Structure 1
Amino acid sequence: MSSDVRLPHWPAWLEEARQMLDRDFRERLTTAHIARTVGVHPVYLAQMFRKHFACGVIEYIARRRIAYACRELRNSGVPIADIAIAAGFYDQGHFSRTFKRILGITPSVYRRRHRPRADS
Structure 2
Amino acid sequence: MKCTTSNVIQYVENHYHEKIYIAELAKTCLISEYQFSRAFKRELGVTFRTYLVNYRLDKACELLNNSMLSVGDVSFAVGFLDHSYFTRMFKRRVGISPSEYRLGNTKLMSAL
TM-score (norm 2): 0.87
Counterparts of 1:82-97 in structure 2, within 5 Å, are 82-97=73-88
Alignment-mate amino acid for residue 73 of structure 2: D
Deviation of 1:118 (Å): 6.6
Task: Look up the match of 1:3.
Answer: none
Count of aligned pairs: 109
Partner secondary structure for residue 81 of structure 2:
coil
> Conserved in 2, the CA contact under 8 Å of 1:84 and 1:92?
yes
Aligned residues: CA RMSD: 1.8
Quote how far apart the aligned CAs of 1:79 are. Answer: 0.6
What's the CA shift string for 1:21-44, capped at 9, x where partnerless? 222111101111111122222111
- Is the contact between residue 14 and residue 45 of structure 1 (CA under 8 Å) also seen in structure 2? no
Larger Rg: 1
Equivalent residue for 1:45, pick from 36, 40, 59: 36
Give the 5 Å matches for 1:41-80.
41-80=32-71
Q: Which runs of 5+ in 1 are unaligned?
A: 1-10
User: 1:108 maps to which residue?
Assistant: 99
The CA deviation at 1:17 is: 1.7
Identify which of 72, 88, 93 aligns with 1:81: 72
TM-score (norm 1): 0.82
Aligned residue number for residue 110 of structure 2: 117
Q: Which has the higher helix share?
A: 2
Identity %: 28
Q: CA deviation at 1:112?
A: 1.2
Does the Cα contact within 8 Å between 1:81 and 1:91 map onto a contact in 2? no
C-alpha distance in 2, partners of 1:108/1:16? 33
Distance 1:96 1:17 in 2: 26
**Gaps spanning 5+ residues in structure 2: where?**
none
User: What residue identity is the alignment partner of 2:110?
Assistant: R
Distance change (3 Å), C-alpha of 1:40 and 1:16: farther
User: Following the alignment from structure 1 to structure 2, what is the Cα–Cα distance between the partners of residues 91 and 35?
Assistant: 25
The code of the aligned residue for 1:41 comes to S
